[in-house]
Structure 1
């Protein structure tokens, strides 16, 4: 046996452990459905380096891990979408096709390169109805997971996902969905991220043409305030349902308005 030999199984385990440690050092990103589309929420103090971006008309992208690596994936996805949309038809560009492309690239890098990518990616597409929405989560080794309703990646993903499952339900308003995401991202007894350190975006099925919308500034501040007010008012309005919730849950009121408050909106895709 040559000196320095390591079995393929050991090499793959080492690569996987290395990638998982890098991803876990980042902050979690939450992606979940609400009544009019898909919501992305990520703690991110940087105004220049985005974790959440637009890929195409109906498709959004979110990632955690090493920035330069998932930015390369994002740019590759935009090129793929633009070429296929121009060559064939814009409706031929789908989240499923992008997920397959990313899976092939990540799988090839994981098996053939010395160092695997330290990234985890979500590709989401909003449909005409909630039943046609699509959320795909991809891991560093090219594995693809077809998620339903919600998903969490990066950081303490298991703990955040557990808190989110306690609060998530179908058909939530935007404010209720944001409240559920922020409650899940906040550790018990901890302080919530400041509004200025949040990156929030939606894929809104009611918008014409481009569905991606980045929420920032006064619009986000008002929406966070509405989410907090909704969470505080829900137990008083629905005492029977509130008592059935687990401790620390933040149920939302079904009578809350579906539309968010007015304010400035950044509709750019980020760089």
Structure 2
């Protein structure tokens, strides 16, 4: 009779934690930032249908990173729990802390159970208050741990690099435009060359306390993001395209258009390059 294979509880928990962390690290980062009028959520998400940031209840938002099917199940469970509690008691009884505790119990039970794999997810549960001091951001990890975050928080992907960028630039009471630009720049920050994220690849939502409706969640579409970002993050034109006003040879000088004819340079300026096909 062969002896059963033995794994110590410490090694088992370590293996399950490593498995969950690796899955979460493959996702793109999500940033939550407190600004003067609420809480901002920013993520790089090219999909227009699968959201990382969603509404849970009147003043409560949910954001996640990791396996989509797993955190979508958690989001739906949170919506049902909030609706049931608000219907059975009062809408004021639905709180972000209560939802965070419910998520922590679920994630902790799944992580400790040996019958199924741990969830490869991290969550934000945020609730907006009547003043910035009353805002709450809870970060939940794959093993059910809960952390109360202040100012800003990052999860998933290159979280350490993004958090380091935010730490050096975050100030309390920032305007929405300033907070948004900082968050987008942080998502594009890396140890190597920083990159500019296209507006079409951003998923942005806010909990806005200035809204008169009871529901404070608002999703910002690209048409709203472009003026807020001031042109930062718009897709770059292709070097082979002349429609965007650039020469086909890659020169950054503007090409003439039919609507606005080119202005001849003054006689004192040097002549243009005779090899340029557009001059």
Pick the aligned partner of 1:207 from 206, 211, 233. 211
Instruction: State the 1:223 CA deviation.
Output: 1.2
Instruction: State the 1:184 CA deviation.
Output: 1.0
Q: Which has the higher contact order (CA 8 A, sep 6+)?
A: 1
- Matched with 2:98 is 97
How far does the alpha carbon of each residue in 1:190-223 deviate from its partner, in whole angstroms, 9 at most, with x for none? Answer: 2221000000000000112110000003111111
- Matched with 1:216 is 221
Residue 111, structure 1, aligned to residue 98, structure 2: no
CA distance in 1, matches of 2:170, 2:17: 30
CA distance in 2, matches of 1:66, 1:9: 25
CA distance in 1, matches of 2:37, 2:9: 47
What stretches of structure 1 of length at least 5 have no aligned partner? 229-271
CA distance in 2, matches of 1:121, 1:103: 10
SS at match of 1:96: helix
Q: Is the 8 A contact 1:138 1:145 kept in 2?
A: yes
Supply the RMSD in Å over aligned alpha carbons.
Answer: 1.3
TM-score (norm 1): 0.82
Higher share of residues assigned helix: 1
Residue 198, structure 1, aligned to residue 198, structure 2: no
TM-score (norm 2): 0.80
CA distance in 2, matches of 1:176, 1:56: 27
- Matched with 1:34 is 35
How far does the alpha carbon of each residue in 1:156-204 deviate from its partner, in whole angstroms, 9 at most, with x for none? Answer: 1111100011111100000000011012111252222100000000000
Matches within 5 A, 1:1-271: 2-112=3-113, 113-188=115-190, 189-208=193-212, 209-225=214-230
Q: Which runs of 4+ in 1 moved over 2 A?
A: 187-190
Give the paired residue count. 228
What stretches of structure 2 of length at least 5 have no aligned partner? 234-279
